[in-house]
Structure 1
Amino acid sequence: MAENENYRKGSEIRASLMGEKFAADMNKSVYDDPMMKKFGDYAREAVFGMLWSRPGLDLKTKTLICVISDTAQARWPELAIHLRMARRQGWTEDELSEALMHLCGYIGLPSVREAMLTAKEVFEEMRKEG
């Protein structure tokens, strides 16, 4: 894929949200074959370069929207990524766990339980990283 302005902007936003090392590690482990590279390139250009860069909401709010959406749809691997992004944007562990708890009455305990287990793992991993 030719690197256009949205791709470059998306790469910067993605690395900023995830952290340089995490984004680079993901490139090596997830987007290391031709099929997944196409997917990753598209996500960088369209999702990060166009959607995440839109005005109207700050990045912190957008990360919380993703955490809630992932939990409601039972998207656990994506939730782990978005929890990391949310922490990097300033949400505390307590705030995120309360946001998840609030979902108990709307999407149900089983999904929230899985989300909390995912959050526990992500938070522990991030504490170890420093």
Structure 2
Amino acid sequence: MANEFETGLNLFGEIYGEQAATNCRAYAESDSFGSKQAEFAMAWAFGSVWSREGLERKMRSCVVLGMMIALRQSDEIYHHTRMALENGLTRGEIEEVLLTAVPYCGLPASNVAKAAMQKAFDEIDG
């Protein structure tokens, strides 16, 4: 798992910046509550899944956003919207992901997603 953790941390740093990766490492290596979960997430999600070559990051962002919309995971939608932009999706493409989710996930789920996405855009715009 050490190799996947390092791979994941490197990818995380490319997307969110080196300071965020440094902070994540410090937390994952601490004895704080939830630190082991952070280590698992970094190794598994970023080190094993996001680092795979089967899909470009842009496409993987579309897939993950769609799943998070279906699950109504507003915090994850917020973070993955920011990540999607870093991975090359445009705001228009993110809106297309949102619109594609409407008939499959429903208006309530898409409304949750729209609010989380807008929050991400607003914070980026300052």
Q: Normalising by structure 1, what TM-score?
A: 0.84
**Secondary structure of the equivalent of 2:33?**
helix
**Secondary structure of the equivalent of 2:34?**
helix
Matched, 1:18 2:16: yes
2:105 maps to 107
Matches within 5 A, 1:1-130: 4-23=2-21, 34-128=32-126
The separation in 2 between residues aligned to 1:33 and 1:97, in whole angstroms, is 40
- Which consecutive unaligned segments of at least 5 residues does structure 2 have? none
Cα distance, 1:23–1:123 mapped onto 2, change above 3 Å: farther
The separation in 1 between residues aligned to 2:120 and 2:30, in whole angstroms, is 23
Which amino acid letter does the alignment assign opposite residue 86 of structure 2? R
The separation in 1 between residues aligned to 2:77 and 2:46, in whole angstroms, is 16
Which amino acid letter does the alignment assign opposite residue 91 of structure 1? L
- Which consecutive unaligned segments of at least 5 residues does structure 1 have? none
Which amino acid letter does the alignment assign opposite residue 11 of structure 2? I
Q: CA RMSD in A?
A: 2.4
Cα distance, 1:66–1:45 mapped onto 2, change above 3 Å: same
Which amino acid letter does the alignment assign opposite residue 122 of structure 2? E
- How many residues are aligned here? 126
Native 8 Å contact 1:7 1:45 kept in 2: yes
**Secondary structure of the equivalent of 2:13?**
helix
Which amino acid letter does the alignment assign opposite residue 116 of structure 2? T
The separation in 2 between residues aligned to 1:126 and 1:94, in whole angstroms, is 15
Using the TM superposition, give the Cα deviation of residue 62 of structure 1 relative to its aligned residue in structure 2, in angstroms: 0.8
Native 8 Å contact 1:18 1:81 kept in 2: no
**Secondary structure of the equivalent of 1:35?**
coil
